[in-house]
Amino acid sequence: MARRSTAQSLAAASLLLLLTYHLRRFSCSAFSYPRAHDLLCHRGPSRFFLDTASTEQWSELLPLGIFHGITTNPTILERCNVPCTVASVQSLASNALDVTDEFMCQSWGGDADMMYSIGMELSSVDRTRVVVKCPVTAEGTKAASRLIGSGVRVCLTACYSKNQALVAAACGAEYIAPYLGRMTDAGRDGLSECRSMQSIVKGMGSSTRILVASIRKVEDMCTLACCGCDTFTFSPDVARAMFAEELTAVAAKDFEDAALRNKGAKSDEK
């Protein structure tokens, strides 16, 4: 009898430990009340990036709370009157990391050695939160592979075809950025290419993210999200377009009008 009681006690203790372990492991489960640090549980693996180097746009749009980080490249820097120098991009990165979680900037140079050297300098601001972009050319991929080997997070960029997703997965890039709008401009089926890239990395068992860029319409993001794409970078104009819903605006105004009318007057009903 004593042996049976002891065995039952051990079994109960083991079960309690197992339950405690799983409750701690899955702290985002329905058993825990939502807290600020549980945001990732609701957001899932998705990541949105704001595609601009304008600090004014950052101030306006980052408070929305939907963005994981900021993306830039030499063209964006030029458009925003930010010099394309190591010192200038490092300063921009420092400012960005004060207000968001991740900052992407693009290396430059005519060959792999130069792109690697500049990439190392750019990432030195914070190797855990700065992602260096390299074009998915032969020289860019050489530089990317060396940067990855040196502990730098990398995004292969200027992607225009699904076969380049094979390159990104094979070299271990964290991201590859297909240019959706530009592919469509060139007469290609950009949506189909992006869907194929997502299937390729999934089929290869790769953790490379398809960072869909050059987005012109919110509807295209919705279409790709339905196919499993969860990482997007888009302009401030596209970000604003996400909130351009007339019916929501009308409903919100109705709520505000009702709140102003109803300030606690006593009802005549008995």
Q: How far apart are CA 231 and CA 49, in angstroms?
A: 8
Cα 226–134–46 angle (5° rounding)?
25
The one-letter code for the residue type at 110 is G
Given 133, 202, 217, 266, which residue is catalytic? 133
Give the ranges where the chain is alpha helix by DSSP (H). Answer: 2-25, 39-43, 55-61, 74-79, 86-97, 112-123, 138-149, 163-171, 180-185, 190-203, 218-225, 236-241, 246-261
Q: How far apart are CA 97 and CA 85, in angstroms?
A: 18
pLDDT digit string, tens, across residues 119-137 = 999 999 999 999 999 999 9
- pLDDT at residue 262 in the model: 94
- pLDDT at residue 266 in the model: 58
The tally of CA atoms less than 13 A away on the side-chain side of residue 219 is: 1
- pLDDT at residue 143 in the model: 98
- pLDDT at residue 264 in the model: 76
CA distances from 129 to 39, 44, 83, 143, 245 (A): 19, 19, 21, 19, 34
Q: Which residues of the chain have pLDDT under 70?
A: 1-41, 265-270
Q: How far apart are CA 112 and CA 9, in angstroms?
A: 65
- pLDDT at residue 42 in the model: 78
Topology classification of domain 44-242: TIM Barrel (3.20.20)
- According to DSSP, the residues that pair with 156 across neighbouring strands are 134, 176
The residues, any chain, with a CB within 8 Å of residue 46's CB and separated by 6 or more, are: 225, 230, 231
Q: How far apart are CA 54 and CA 139, in angstroms?
A: 30
What H or E segment, with its residue span, contains residue 178? strand 175-178
Cβ atoms of 151 and 185 closer than 8 Å = no
Choose among 43, 97, 40: nearest CA to 72. 97
**Which tokens sit at 68?**
């994981």
Cβ atoms of 11 and 195 closer than 8 Å = no
- pLDDT at residue 18 in the model: 45
133 assigned to active site: yes
- pLDDT at residue 43 in the model: 79
Q: How far apart are CA 159 and CA 154, in angstroms?
A: 14
Q: How far apart are CA 97 and CA 89, in angstroms?
A: 12
What's the full length of the chain, in residues? Answer: 270
- pLDDT at residue 224 in the model: 98
Domain ranges of the chain: 44-242
pLDDT digit string, tens, across residues 70-102 = 999 999 999 999 999 999 999 999 999 999 999
